[in-house]
């Protein structure tokens, strides 16, 4: 049986009433606490919380006026203004009932009660308490969000000039509705930047919807982005809005937009130009009002020259362009990021907070970080798990491939490391041009993308 009534406290000087109520309610409540001495109310409230409190109006010293009941009602509400209190009395005095409700009681029942009516009254009161909790949680969440939004770039750690330049652009663009294109290598934090733009925008109280375009297949593209009507294809078992509709009045973040094929680029461009989408199987278009933020680690401008990305789509999505620096371009931020991740993973794995030696920091700053911040994060996580020492040293990062003085990576006999190193060299050699790097490596573009994803490049 669903114990929908939660935790109930019953206070009455009649022991028979207490036992009868407990026998009735224990089938419907998670817990029933009974007490015959009202003077214990302060202690009970200080040591626990209750979904509903059943309070007798009249105790042994005064059996008719309800004076004691009103006194204890005041005491309860003083300690917990959101307490849900139902008063019980053997005398059906209408004036007393009205006064009780005015003074903060939730409801009023008469002794002897009808079992079904008492349970229904308690059920309603319990739902009211639940709604109080939900409202309180929403208030706390809103307060936290407001506090967070007042902290500039709280999730983006760094004090280098390179990252401050990014902050400066965000400050300028966030308050507008301009489309933003974020360029940067994998692991540089493109989604964090997109969320920062949203949080500082006029749409911050509305939704932020993130879509990984690289994970959407050709066949599901329209359904995912534009939605579908029930029965429009085999698996369409119900009406479903697409991401554009869900993001209405908020921000839509299209990550890895460079992965879209030319036909899908055309469909996306049509939706952005018309500011309307049509669900699969529907005849009527739906107006959309979104702030568009896109991101990619691919060289879109090279792809335009190669006719693999539409120039008009690039113009549509990059009213303002933000280029995120690679971690190797902001080495002075590595100590701050390292401290952050040490704190995070020490707490996650319930370990004493470790420190890192200066030689450990120097090793991290000398490394070229092909996987950027994401790779640093994984390196710290692994070190926190594996190290038995309180201070992390260079030996705790033995798994990072070192660079020699001429910039080449020292050979590794691990095949995955070798493959990762060769791919990174090809990418660097061709300045991020995927087509040229793939040709030199003897791979198709699709094969190279799979390996980039595998190695976090």
The token pair at 82 is 């959101």
Percentage of the chain lying above the pLDDT 90 cut:
41
The token pair at 282 is 């529907």
Q: Is residue 168 part of a domain?
A: no
Phi, psi (deg, nearest 5) at residue 2? -75, 120
CATH number at 203 reads 3.40.50.300
Q: Is residue 150 part of a domain?
A: no
Give me the DSSP letters along 244-304. Answer: HHHTTTSEEEEETGGG--HHHHHHHHHHHHHTEE--BT-SS-EE---EEEEEESS-HHHHH
Q: What is the pLDDT of residue 329?
A: 93
406 confidence band (pLDDT: 50, 70, 90): very low
Q: Which residues of 377-398 are buried (b: 16+ CB within 10 A; e: fewer)?
A: bebbbebbeebeeeebbbebbe
**pLDDT averaged over the chain?**
85
Residues 74 and 122 in one domain: yes
For helices 434-441 and 445-455, angle between their N-to-C axes, nearest 10 degrees: 100
Residues 72 and 124 in one domain: yes
134 confidence band (pLDDT: 50, 70, 90): confident
Q: Which of 426, 446, 424, 423 is nearest to 436 (CA)?
A: 426
Return the minimum-mean-pLDDT range out of 2-11, 221-230, 336-345, 368-377. Answer: 2-11
Which is it for strands 31-35 and 7-11: parallel, antiparallel or unpaired? parallel
Domain boundary among the residues 325, 342, 363 is at: 325
Residues 338 and 310 in one domain: no
Q: Is residue 26 part of a domain?
A: yes
- Spatial separation of the C-alpha atoms in residues 352 and 328, rounded to whole Å: 29
At 231, is the secondary structure helix, strand, or coil?
A: coil
Q: What is the pLDDT of residue 160?
A: 93
At 218, is the secondary structure helix, strand, or coil?
A: coil
Residues 193 and 316 in one domain: yes
Task: Tell me the β-bridge partners of 31.
Answer: 7
Residues 271 and 365 in one domain: no
141 confidence band (pLDDT: 50, 70, 90): low
409 confidence band (pLDDT: 50, 70, 90): very low
Residues 299 and 261 in one domain: yes
Q: Is residue 341 part of a domain?
A: yes
Return the minimum-mean-pLDDT range out of 129-138, 228-237, 317-326, 424-433. Answer: 129-138
- Spatial separation of the C-alpha atoms in residues 300 and 312, rounded to whole Å: 12
Residues 192 and 302 in one domain: yes
Q: Is residue 70 part of a domain?
A: yes
The answer, as to whether pTM is greater than 0.85, is no
Stronger pLDDT, 168 or 457, i.e. the higher one: 168
Q: What is the pLDDT of residue 414?
A: 60
Q: Indicate whether 170 pLDDT > 60.
A: yes
- Spatial separation of the C-alpha atoms in residues 340 and 338, rounded to whole Å: 5
93 confidence band (pLDDT: 50, 70, 90): low
For helices 334-348 and 372-386, angle between their N-to-C axes, nearest 10 degrees: 50
Q: Is residue 443 part of a domain?
A: yes
Q: Is residue 148 part of a domain?
A: no
Q: Alpha-carbon torsion 448, 454, 455, 457, what sign? A: positive
pLDDT in tens, 105-123: 888 888 778 888 888 888 8
Q: Indicate whether 2 pLDDT > 60.
A: no
Q: Indicate whether 405 pLDDT > 70.
A: no
Q: Which of 209, 195, 210 is nearest to 145 (CA)?
A: 195
CATH number at 112 reads 3.40.50.2300
CB of 276 within 8 A of CB of 288?
yes
Instruction: Give the DSSP letter of residue 366.
Output: H
Residues 88 and 119 in one domain: yes
Distances (CA, A) of 135 to 128, 344, 351: 11, 30, 36
Residues 184 and 318 in one domain: yes
Residues 441 and 318 in one domain: no
Return the minimum-mean-pLDDT range out of 129-133, 223-227, 280-284. Answer: 129-133
CB of 88 within 8 A of CB of 111?
yes
pLDDT in tens, 321-368: 999 999 999 999 999 999 999 999 999 999 888 899 999 999 999 899
Return the minimum-mean-pLDDT range out of 239-253, 332-346, 399-413, 440-454. Answer: 399-413
Stronger pLDDT, 235 or 200, i.e. the higher one: 200
pLDDT in tens, 33-47: 999 888 999 888 877
Q: What is the pLDDT of residue 388?
A: 86
Mean pLDDT of 48-52: 85
Query: Containing domain of residue 240, as a range?
Result: 178-325
Residues 261 and 395 in one domain: no
407 confidence band (pLDDT: 50, 70, 90): very low
Residues 130 and 249 in one domain: no
Find which of 97-111, 121-135, 152-166, 371-385 is predicted with most confidence, using mean pLDDT: 371-385
CATH number at 350 reads 1.10.8.60
Domain boundary among the residues 325, 349, 383 is at: 325
151 confidence band (pLDDT: 50, 70, 90): very low
Q: Is residue 156 part of a domain?
A: no
Domain boundary among the residues 138, 167, 191 is at: 138
The number of domains in the chain is 4
């Amino acid at each position: 049986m669903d114990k929908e009534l939660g935790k109930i406290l019953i206070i009455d000087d009649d022991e028979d009433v207490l036992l009868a109520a407990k026998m009735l309610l224990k089938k419907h409540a998670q817990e029933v606490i009974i007490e015959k001495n009202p003077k214990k109310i302060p202690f009970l409230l200080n040591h626990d919380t209750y979904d509903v409190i059943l309070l007798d109006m009249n105790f042994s010293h005064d059996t008719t006026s309800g004076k004691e009941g009103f006194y204890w009602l005041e005491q309860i509400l003083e300690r917990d203004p959101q307490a849900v209190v139902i008063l019980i009395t053997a005398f059906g005095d209408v004036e007393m009932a009205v006064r009780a409700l005015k003074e903060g009681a939730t409801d009023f029942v008469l002794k002897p009660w009808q079992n079904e009516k008492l349970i229904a009254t308690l059920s309603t009161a319990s739902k009211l308490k639940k709604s109080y909790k939900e409202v309180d949680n929403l208030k706390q969440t809103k307060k936290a969000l407001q506090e967070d939004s007042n902290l500039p770039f709280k999730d983006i750690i760094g004090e280098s000039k390179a990252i401050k330049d990014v902050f400066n652009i965000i400050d300028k663009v966030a308050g507008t509705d301009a489309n933003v294109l974020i360029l940067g290598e994998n692991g540089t934090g493109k989604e964090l930047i997109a969320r920062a733009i949203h949080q500082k925008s006029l749409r911050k109280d509305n939704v932020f919807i993130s879509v990984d375009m690289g994970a959407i297949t050709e066949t599901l593209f329209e359904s995912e982005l534009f939605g579908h009507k029930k029965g429009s294809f085999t698996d369409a078992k119900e009406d479903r809005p697409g991401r554009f509709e869900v993001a209405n009045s908020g921000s839509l973040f299209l990550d890895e937009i460079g992965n879209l094929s030319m036909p899908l680029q055309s469909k996306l461009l049509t939706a952005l130009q018309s500011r309307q989408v049509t669900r699969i199987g529907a005849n009527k278009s739906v107006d959309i009002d979104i702030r568009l933020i896109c991101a990619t680690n691919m060289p879109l401008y090279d792809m335009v020259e190669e006719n693999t990305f539409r120039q008009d789509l690039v113009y549509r999505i990059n009213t303002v362009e933000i280029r995120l620096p690679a971690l190797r371009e902001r080495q002075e931020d590595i100590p701050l990021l390292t401290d952050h991740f040490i704190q995070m993973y020490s707490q996650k794995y319930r370990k004493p907070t470790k420190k890192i030696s200066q030689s450990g920091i120097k090793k991290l700053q000398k490394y070229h970080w092909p996987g950027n911040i994401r790779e640093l994060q994984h390196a710290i996580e692994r070190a926190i798990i594996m190290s038995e020492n309180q201070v992390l040293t260079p030996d705790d990062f033995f798994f990072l491939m070192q660079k020699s003085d001429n910039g080449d990576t020292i050979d590794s006999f691990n095949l995955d490391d070798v493959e990762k190193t060769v791919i990174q060299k090809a990418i660097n050699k061709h300045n991020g041009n995927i087509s040229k790097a793939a040709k030199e490596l003897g791979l198709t573009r699709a094969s190279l993308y799979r390996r980039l994803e595998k190695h976090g490049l």
